[in-house]
A and B are shown apart, each in its own frame.
Chain A
Amino acid sequence: MLIDKMITLENVWFSYEDEHYVLRNISLSVCEGVTVIKGPNGSGKTTLLKIASLLLKPKKGHVIVEGTSFWSASRSVREKLRRKVVYVHEKPYLFKGTVYDNIAYPLKIRGYDLSRVVDVAKEFGVGKILNTNVNELSAGMRQLVALARTFVFKPKYVFLDEPLANLDDENKSRIIRIIEKYARKGIAIVVATHMNINFRKEIVSKIAFMNNGVIVKVSKYK
């Protein structure tokens, strides 16, 4: 496993405001394939995901991205690294406007060509509603739009927070298939969930079990 293809948390502690630590001494590395973080609600999965996806700064410990300690790096380095990482909320926020606007957003701010939007939308099953206003979408559709918006700019690390919550069976299996497909392409995908998700064994690299702010067990597969 090459160190320059990983995000690693080293002895990370985190607390909101002056409260007690919600994460205690977490060490975990994320690499190609699917990493599953399993644990009950309130065990600290979301916080862990936000730290690993560089949105929250840990109180103690380090976040190493491709060999660089992220929070001690310069601003420009941080912005460059951050652009490879994306976090998707359990109930993703969609920007005002159409489905197309949302999927095009990450490309626009990077100055990329927008021609990819239509293909990616089709792949995620939202190709026919590109011009629909996001106000009119169901929860499942919103999740699919958010995922399309996530994968459209070819990120290297994707963090999905409860991606299957609020979905019907059809959409659940569609999203599982999509995750497996991108994991096979070499993208590191981290899925935090309290459910049992049946991914194909060969694409799951590890499962970390969390409880009460600590990782209690890690099962490695590859």
Chain B
Amino acid sequence: MEGLYQEVLAITLRTLWISGTATILAISWSIPLSLILISSKNRISIFIQDFFNALISLPTVVLGLALYLILSKSGPLGFLGLLYTPLAISIGQSILITPILVSMITSSFQKLRDEVWETAITLGASEFQASIALLREGTLLLIRAILAGFNRAVGELGVALIVGGNIKGFTRVLTTTIALELTKGNFELAIYLGIVLLTLSTIVTVAIRSLGLRGAYR
């Protein structure tokens, strides 16, 4: 039982690390992209926003398979040797959650943007400084989007299984462990791990909710 506990702990920490990295990656391009999208109100940006909205429901296995074919030894990026590594999962999950981040940020920032942007610009801010001001004013909205993205990354199975390979002690995360234990017939352990996963995302969801309430109060 001692060994099992340690392994569950290790898997949980690995899950947080891999999905955390995915979230950081996704943030690095989602925030600038969202800022561009909300500042340029032309047809192309509306189309891109609709496109990202549609991508939110992309099945994870489809993305996983596409990534597999790209990262495979015989695929275009095979030479990187990323397949079946934690980084491959992080990259896959970061792509998976990008539409969520972009959609949440653009939709929640749209109203705030006009006010903050106009105020900052007219007070003499450069466009870069105005973007900073917008991000600062929308910190809570931003954190909400980030947590939602993180939650999705932690809870997805397809990408982690297909490009991670569920390798013991290396790319095994909570969801892939649950799938494996199910195959092994260890339903009890699968449920136990499911509870760990549920607890994690409940904590995150409650955090989102409380931030949302405080954000609304502003």
Are B122 and A86 within 8 A (Cβ)?
Answer: yes
Are B119 and A92 within 8 A (Cβ)?
Answer: yes
B133 at the interface (CB under 8 A from A): yes
List A contacts of B118 (CB < 8 A).
Answer: 55, 87, 89, 93
A119 to chain B, nearest CB (A): 19
A85 at the interface (CB under 8 A from B): yes
Are B121 and A82 within 8 A (Cβ)?
Answer: yes
List A contacts of B169 (CB < 8 A).
Answer: none
Using CB atoms, name the residue of chain A closest to B125. Answer: A109
Contact A135/B218 with A55-B121, A85-B122, A93-B119 known, Cβ cut-off 8 Å: yes
The CA-CA distance from A120 to B197 in the complex, in Å, is: 55
Are A89 and B124 within 8 A (Cβ)?
Answer: no
Q: Is the interface of B mostly helix, strand, loop or mixed?
A: helix
List A contacts of B136 (CB < 8 A).
Answer: 95-96
Are B137 and A96 within 8 A (Cβ)?
Answer: yes
A174 at the interface (CB under 8 A from B): no
List A contacts of B218 (CB < 8 A).
Answer: 96, 135
List A contacts of B120 (CB < 8 A).
Answer: 105, 109
Binary flags per residue of A71-107, CB closer than 8 Å to B gives 1, else 0: 0000000010011011111001101100000000110
B107 at the interface (CB under 8 A from A): no
The CA-CA distance from A219 to B108 in the complex, in Å, is: 45
List B contacts of A86 (CB < 8 A).
Answer: 122-124
The CA-CA distance from A93 to B138 in the complex, in Å, is: 13
Are A79 and B122 within 8 A (Cβ)?
Answer: no
Contact A53/B125 with A93-B116, A95-B133, A135-B218 known, Cβ cut-off 8 Å: no
Are B124 and A106 within 8 A (Cβ)?
Answer: yes
A149 at the interface (CB under 8 A from B): yes
The CA-CA distance from A88 to B118 in the complex, in Å, is: 9
A-B contact count (CB 8 A): 48
List A contacts of B199 (CB < 8 A).
Answer: none
B186 at the interface (CB under 8 A from A): no
List B contacts of A55 (CB < 8 A).
Answer: 118, 121-122
Are A149 and B122 within 8 A (Cβ)?
Answer: no
Are B115 and A93 within 8 A (Cβ)?
Answer: yes
Which has the most chain A C-beta neighbours within 10 Å: B115, B125, B126, B133?
B125
- Interface residues of A, count at CB 8 A: 22
B40 to chain A, nearest CB (A): 13
B129 at the interface (CB under 8 A from A): yes
Using CB atoms, name the residue of chain A closest to B114. Answer: A93
Using CB atoms, name the residue of chain B closest to A97. Answer: B136
Are B133 and A79 within 8 A (Cβ)?
Answer: no
Are A83 and B137 within 8 A (Cβ)?
Answer: no
Using CB atoms, name the residue of chain A closest to B121. Answer: A55
Are B124 and A153 within 8 A (Cβ)?
Answer: yes
Contact A53/B133 with A93-B116, A96-B218, A135-B218 known, Cβ cut-off 8 Å: no
List A contacts of B126 (CB < 8 A).
Answer: 79, 109
List B contacts of A85 (CB < 8 A).
Answer: 122
Are B124 and A83 within 8 A (Cβ)?
Answer: yes
A110 at the interface (CB under 8 A from B): yes
The CA-CA distance from A105 to B126 in the complex, in Å, is: 13
B residues 185-218 touching A (CB-CB < 8 Å): 218
List B contacts of A96 (CB < 8 A).
Answer: 136-137, 218
Q: Which residues of B contact A (CB under 8 A)?
A: 115-116, 118-126, 129, 133, 136-137, 218
Nearest 10 interchain pairs by C-beta: A93-B115, A106-B123, A83-B124, A87-B122, A93-B119, A109-B125, A86-B122, A109-B129, A106-B124, A109-B124
What are 9 A-B contacts defined by CB distance under 8 Å?
Answer: A55-B118, A55-B121, A79-B126, A82-B121, A82-B124, A89-B115, A109-B129, A135-B218, A150-B123
